[in-house]
Structures are given as C-alpha cells and as structure tokens.
Chains A and B, each alone.
Chain A
C-alpha cells in the first residue's frame, strides 16, 4: 500500500496542508494513519479518489461522498464473491482493498462489513454464512501469521467467550487479536471453557491485561475463568470486547472496562490503557536498585 505524507497528499490535491487537516476534522476524510513518529500518513488510493471526485464535485462534501463510494466497490466485490462461493475472487477483492488501505482499515471497512451484509442476507445459521465466515477466519489467521513478531513488552490474554468460529463475534475477536499483534503486542486467546491448567499458561505468558471477548458464554463461566486468572497472576486490567449486554455483573465485580465494538477502536483503547501501566512498570524497574549481573534473568542481561 502506497502512503503519502501530508505535504505530498496536499500537493496531489492542490491544497495546503492546513486545508487537508481541516477536511479531516470536518469530513473525516481522507483519514490518515499515523507513522511511528505520529506523523500523518495518507493512503494514495484515498487521496487519488478524492482528487478525481473534486474535478466533478459541487462541494467538498459531495466529492468526499463520491470518493467513499468509489472505495466501497471492494466491499461489493467481496460480498459478490462470497455470495457466489468464489474464493479466488474473494482473495482478489481483499488484495485490491489492501492496495488502497492498511490491513486494519481493509478488515474494518471491507472484510467485516461484507460479512455483516452476508449475515443479514442469509442468516448466521446458514451454509453461505458458514462458507464466508470460514474464509474470513482463514484470511485473518493468515494475516496474523504474516504480522511482524512482538516488539512491545506487552502481553494480552484474550478470553474467548464466543460460540465457535462461526459466531459473528469470533471474527471481530480475531481481527482484534490481529490488530494487537500488528501493534507489537504478544496475544494469546484461550477459550473461557478451558479452565484446567489455566494457571500454568497464565504464569508463562504473564499478561499485562485480560480481554474477555464474545457474548456466548455465561457470566458464571466467565467469572470462574477470570477467578483462575486472578489467582495465577493477581489483579490485572480487564476489558470487555463485544460483551456489553450480558456482563453487568462481571463489569461490576472486576471493574472491567468496556471496549468499543470495532476491533481497531478496541485495540487503540486497550493499548492506551495498558501502555501506561507498562511504562509505570518499566519506570519502577529502572528506579529499583541494580542487582548483581549474575542474578539478572538471562534475557535482561543480554539486553
């Protein structure tokens, strides 16, 4: 995916960088990502679509609307491919989406809306839905494998409270895992139903936060699972993803935060919540008196 800096995007659109930022505030378009240094990065496809729409537009709003429409063709293509059981065409639609957008936006603006549309059209208990959901699950898993290795001192444990991979929330959870992984965190998803031996896994992962995702499992099962986590690793920041209605009790008991329903929104909010905690922990470690090098854990000594 080709990206443009603010000055490059502004030049392509023949406006000033300030105008481009004003458009972002007023119209929410073009929507930039942020570089590692927090600078805006615009996708070339979005900017080019807006430039073309401006040539024929009567207002910036109508041009933005046309540009958005032009970009939504990927969603129509993906829906058509999955409704026609054409896996190659579905893969191609995602390739086209990735040419114009980041992985995060391709998933949120093309893959998940397409699956929502198919779910509404056929019902989530239908064979066409199962076909599409399995393809989407496979696509998200492939993207996870291709994600860069963890680069942050941050581990997240996801309690999978979805029914199975055909549960619509499972795709959202998979996307959330992908986005956290791409942000450099180590992510491990474990089913809420698996409680035996949970403590060993948790001690090995030493998570910085726990997210309970999905609304299928009962509050009692979730509470039992959360209790085992607490027993193994102490009180951890806990958040709920796509589990707003059922978990009033869990929320009260664990002081859990409710994350937005969109995977990227949830990822951003969780990382903001946990990064502060990790920074605090690192600062405390830095302030602590140095121990003899021989006693340091091997990984720290190498670092």
Chain B
C-alpha cells in the first residue's frame, strides 16, 4: 500500500489530452510535495503560479512563453520571455499581446490569424496550433509559436520556439 503514494493519477483535459504542470515564470515543473501544500506558487522561484497545459504545447526546457487571456491581455511572461522581449512581467501584465508579439506574416489567411488562435485557445476550445510570429519591434527575427490552452483559469499559452 505504501508504494501507492508514488503513483500519481494521469491528468488529462476534457478532450483526453495529457496535461503537464509548469511554473508560469520559470517554466519548471512543480517541486515534489507541492501538491500536498495546496499552494499554486512555484516552489522553485516563488515568482510564478503553477499552470497546466497539454503536453504537446507546454514549454520544454527554457523555452520562452507568454500567457494571454480571452481579452488578449498579457497575464504572465516567463523569465526567458522577459529577456527575449526586453520587458518585465510587472510592466507587461494587462497590456495587449499585440504590443509584444505580432504575426510574422501580416497576410496570413484568417485561420492562421494569431489573435483568432489566441482567443480560441483562451476559451479552452482551440486545438494546439502553430503560427509564425515576431517581436513587435523586431523585423528580422521570426519564431515558430505553439499556441494552446492553459490554466486554470482558462487562458492561452504562446510558446516561442526557434
């Protein structure tokens, strides 16, 4: 019976996608034993809340990412994204995502539209998707972005990859 303590139920969302947990600031998985403490605050950095996202969207390693709500306001900026975008989460919060990230291809068809993808993801209904984006103030730099739902509460996760 004692061995059962080491077994954790597989967490899945309503569509059966496997969910993983990570800190909204440092991106690390939650520290062991943090579930029992009942705190959502990251036990590693103490500067982010633990969020969940489908495994194929969630940040891997030190990939930079942002969390956006359904009004397209920035709600969280990871430490790596702060460096990459030259901003600070405390200043970026409540700003529109378009102040930081814009589609790399302005003529993309509507299905590829970054803002539509983000709103869909933030409503919790969107499938994980990808888009090509760039920082608003940089023209020569492009990132492939993974976009999908995260939470709680419902929000969109935008992970920047090479």
Asked if B90 and A54 sit within 8 Å, CB to CB, the answer is: no
- What residues of B have a CB within 8 angstroms of the CB of A18 in the complex? 46
Asked if B49 and A58 sit within 8 Å, CB to CB, the answer is: yes
Closest 5 CB pairs of A and B: A59-B76, A19-B46, A58-B75, A14-B39, A61-B93
Asked if A62 and B41 sit within 8 Å, CB to CB, the answer is: no
What band does the interface of chain A fall in when counting residues whose beta carbon is under 8 Å from B? 20 to 34
A237 at the interface (CB under 8 A from B): no
Closest to B73 in A: A62
Asked if A58 and B39 sit within 8 Å, CB to CB, the answer is: no
A248 at the interface (CB under 8 A from B): no
Q: Which one, B46, B51, B69, B75, contacts A15 given CB within 8 A?
A: B46
- Residues of B in contact, count (CB < 8 Å): 25
Asked if B41 and A58 sit within 8 Å, CB to CB, the answer is: no
- What residues of A have a CB within 8 angstroms of the CB of B67 in the complex? 58-59
A260 at the interface (CB under 8 A from B): no
Q: With A14-B38, A54-B41 in contact, is A62–B46 under 8 Å at CB?
A: no
- What residues of B have a CB within 8 angstroms of the CB of A13 in the complex? 41
Q: 1/0 per residue B71-87: CB within 8 Å of A?
A: 00001110000000000
Distance to closest chain A CB from B134 (angstroms): 23
Q: 1/0 per residue B39-53: CB within 8 Å of A?
A: 111000011110100
- What residues of A have a CB within 8 angstroms of the CB of B24 in the complex? 58-59
- What residues of A have a CB within 8 angstroms of the CB of B40 in the complex? 54
Q: With A14-B39, A19-B41 in contact, is A59–B69 under 8 Å at CB?
A: no
* Max chain B C-beta neighbours (<10 A), residue from A15, A27, A64, A65: A15
Q: 1/0 per residue B143-154: CB within 8 Å of A?
A: 000000001010
Q: 1/0 per residue B4-39: CB within 8 Å of A?
A: 000000000000000000001100000000000111
Q: 1/0 per residue A153-193: CB within 8 Å of B?
A: 00000000000000000000000000000000000000000
Asked if B46 and A22 sit within 8 Å, CB to CB, the answer is: yes
Can you pick out 23 interface pairs between chain A and chain B where the beta carbons lie within 8 Å of each other? Answer: A15-B39, A15-B41, A18-B46, A19-B41, A19-B46, A23-B46, A54-B40, A56-B153, A58-B24, A58-B75, A58-B153, A59-B25, A59-B75, A59-B76, A59-B89, A60-B41, A60-B49, A61-B77, A61-B89, A62-B76, A63-B49, A64-B90, A65-B94
A233 at the interface (CB under 8 A from B): no
B104 at the interface (CB under 8 A from A): no
A57 at the interface (CB under 8 A from B): yes
A16 at the interface (CB under 8 A from B): yes
B155 at the interface (CB under 8 A from A): yes
Asked if B47 and A60 sit within 8 Å, CB to CB, the answer is: yes
